[in-house]
Amino acid sequence: MRLRNIPGADEVISNSAFCIQNPIELKGKWHEFFGNTNPIHIEVGMGKGRFLMDLARQNPQINYIGIERYTSVLLRAVQKIDEDPLDNVHFLCIDAATLPEIFDHNEVDRIYLNFSDPWPKDRHAKRRLTSREFLARYNEILTADGRIEFKTDNQDLFTFSLEEIEASELWHLDASTRDLHHDPKMNQGNIMTEYEEKFSSKGNPICKLIASR
């Protein structure tokens, strides 16, 4: 998918107090950065940031880091947080493949993956955020009781994700549903993303899984 370049986005991201410019230097020091020992949750592919910031408002005792590769998308989240600052939220403009270079072992307590790019062609399977390649990266940074929460409306991607977890010796599927909004147990406390609201309004069932090691 080709994204429209927004003039000035790079400069805004570079100058934002909420965007960390040299995250590799903070590997193993994230709790020092936040100034507390609270759990660290990250969202990979955060888009415009609605989900992450709603979570942060509800859970001030948790540190949140939003990860987005494209400045033109991250710009929207920066504009939102400038209007309503949150002390427990920061952003990274990075490729998710570099996560083990940025977070140390046992440094992240939870990873959220919401409506990730499905990369539908077979030759691009390694790029999917629920592929075994990315699961191995998550394994390097999660705490012993850490977990992944994944939501999508793409049935093929969800099937692929279930199969990747099942094939892995490191991961265990804790829960899953192919119709989140009609699953009373898994939908309890659910916070919707922009895409989730859009797709569900069209009648698309939302899938969700939770996996741990």
Q: Which residues are catalytic?
A: 117
Half-sphere exposure at residue 17, Cβ-oriented, CA atoms within 13 angstroms: 7
Rounded Cα–Cα distance for residues 43 and 180 (Å): 19
Q: What φ, ψ does residue 9 adopt, rounded to 5°?
A: -60, -45
Structure tokens at 161: 């994700």
> Residue 95 burial (CB < 10 Å; 0-12/13-18/19+)?
exposed
Structure tokens at 149: 């929460």
133 labeled binding residue: no
157 Cα distance to chain centroid? 16
164 labeled binding residue: no
166 labeled binding residue: no
196 labeled binding residue: yes
Q: What φ, ψ does residue 160 adopt, rounded to 5°?
A: -55, -45
43 labeled binding residue: yes
95 labeled binding residue: yes
83 labeled binding residue: no
Ramachandran sector of residue 67 (left: φ over 0; alpha: ψ -120 to 50; beta: rest) = beta
195 labeled binding residue: yes
145 labeled binding residue: no
121 labeled binding residue: yes
DSSP string, 98-126: GHHHHS-TT-EEEEEEES-----SGGGGG
Bind-site residues for substrate: 121, 153, 193-196
Bind-site residues: 43, 68, 95, 117, 121, 153, 193-196
Bind-site residues for S-adenosyl-L-methionine: 43, 68, 95, 117
